[in-house]
Chains A and B, each alone.
Chain A
Amino acid sequence: DVKVTQSSRYLVKRTGEKVFLECVQDMDHENMFWYRQDPGLGLRLIYFSYDVKMKEKGDIPEGYSVSREKKERFSLILESASTNQTSMYLCASRFASSYEQYFGPGTRLTVT
């Protein structure tokens, strides 16, 4: 079974804090993704990594950065958290040759 895990299910941070969201997959997938999910907006792609140390901006990268030092791990970084980054964050991964993305359970981040 493919497993995509995220470091926290719930997180509460203060405005201005640096926030790290971690995602780990155990299937040797090349591609990894970070999305945010907001009611009425569906999922929007923040960043994408097609392999180790490779990254590409998605549709809403502002205020975020990412790190992919190892194939199994993809980190999303909020350099200075703001209240408008309160959201559900979903990580996904897949083989480069496949259409199917496997999702983690999500991290609900609240910035106060």
Chain B
Amino acid sequence: EAQVTQNPRYLITVTGKKLTVTCSQNMNHEYMSWYRQDPGLGLRQIYYSMNVEVTDKGDVPEGYKVSRKEKRNFPLILESPSPNQTSLYFCASSLGTSGYEQFFGPGTRLTVL
């Protein structure tokens, strides 16, 4: 089944404790991205990647890192999480951007205390 998977689905952590949210897709997609969703603000793009070893900042990259060492995986790294990073995170992938459907993962709900 074609899908985007994220782990963990739920995470409660404390300020400053490094964490990684994994994202994997099995569709051989070149484009992957991370979004965060906050009440009243809709979805905002954090980082995206056009292909292996190619990443770029989205609209809200501060406090996040990503890597794209393999085509299928695109982990989101929070080196020192803060409470303002409490949010719902979605990973997405697609063949490309303009004319291609994006497939979204189920979401990761992160709480930073």
Chain A complexes with chain B: no
